[in-house]
Chain A
């Protein structure tokens, strides 16, 4: 199971199928929340995850299988809701508190 310390996180990538729709929306929301942490949030299609620099991958449960296949060694956070998701809220909290973050 992959894990990473919050202080090592420089870039988070949000993945969706085409990398143009839902991932952009989630990425922009998250970027706003993490502005003070100095963490950039980008978006990408699942098939370009490997080429996108990142410390954490954020992906919807429906695409999580393909995300894990693409980057098996990365920390992959899975979310269920595009608005008000608990896992995303936890991720933000962990990053702000400087906790260790692992797959989930």
Chain B
């Protein structure tokens, strides 16, 4: 089975590992802060004028959170990954420059300037540490961070903010063009296979999420949050494996369905697809059907549902959108189930026994202490 999994044994320092690394870093800046996203998403879903319980006072928190708090948290975390607490502090300072330089949620800008300034500070520290006289560590440490942070905030205001705003603008109009021409479902052709190769977090939190919040800030909701996170295609695949998959895999499928659909950990179905790579077609068809349904019914979410569980979906669905959202998830699950089921039935040659033999041999080798 391992033959199908590209990042397996040998030379895997290639393009994919590097891309995954970059994507991992983007996602690594967002995922630790998901709790704050959920707080913001719930405030939005509940208290904005079109929400469940419209409330002017509580909804006044929505703007400051999305425009200030969330980008600063991303810049903070990005800085921390590069250079610990000092990196986190300078990342936050510089992110403020990016934020006030534009009027859109600056997630991408924060993802750039947070780690960048932390990286610069790391080098400043490397130079200053050896020449700092004893007793002056605190003075020099605080002022080097303070001065570099001030310059970083200015750089963000003048440079990174406007550039990222322009890039976001171009990408945003590209997405609107896809939506206007009913071409958005084609995105599934790229998204679903990349997802299976463990780029799910990079795609969602690194690309689609930051574009989605810009849209959500303008119109209150965005379809972009649903392109990668839809649990429907994975659900269909797992049900197909449960009913028609290799015998060795059937037993674990029901548990995987619960973890995937309710727990939102999509990673659990990737190995099933990697063992029968043709099944990725089911994921693509399911994904495209889902996106098409969301598009036709005109629904969106107020925030990224993370993890991609049905519960998270329901929590960030604005009132009035539930029918379209549920319909899209159900249809995508059905479509991916039908396609995957046929693929599994047609490839009747059961690879699982060969796998099992290979695994047994490996097990013997291991016991022999090789």
Contacts and interface: CB of A to CB of B under 8 A. Distances in A.
Contacts of A22: 265, 267-268
A36 interface: no
Interface in B266-288: 267-268, 270-271, 274-275
B259 to A, nearest CB: 7
B363 interface: yes
A16 B267 contact: yes
A86 B363 CA distance: 9
How big is the A interface, by class? 20 to 34
A43 interface: no
Contact of A86 (B25, B255, B359): B359
Contacts of B270: 62
A22 B267 CA distance: 7
A10 interface: no
Interface residues of B, number: 41
B251 interface: yes
Interface string B206-236: 0000000000000000000000000000000
A94 B364 CA distance: 12
Interface string B23-65: 0110110011000000000000000000000000000000000
Contacts of A18: 24, 27-28, 31-32, 201
Contacts of B369: 99-100, 102
A12 to B, nearest CB: 16
Interface in B126-150: none
Nearest to B360: A86
Contacts of A81: 252, 271
B362 interface: yes
A12 B31 CA distance: 23
Contact of A63 (B2, B7, B259, B265): B7
A50 interface: no
A83 B366 CA distance: 21
A104 to B, nearest CB: 6
B25 A66 contact: no
Interface in B1-29: 1-2, 5, 7-8, 12-13, 17, 20-21, 24-25, 27-28
A17 B197 contact: no
B194 to A, nearest CB: 12
Interface string B99-127: 00000000000000000000000000000
Nearest to A3: B369
Interface in B305-337: 307
A104 B369 CA distance: 12
Nearest to A80: B271
Given A61-B2, A82-B268, 13 more contacts: A16-B267, A17-B27, A18-B32, A20-B32, A22-B265, A47-B81, A61-B5, A61-B8, A62-B274, A66-B20, A83-B256, A102-B366, A104-B366
The 8 closest A-B CB pairs, nearest first, are A65-B12, A18-B31, A62-B198, A22-B267, A83-B252, A84-B252, A65-B17, A82-B268
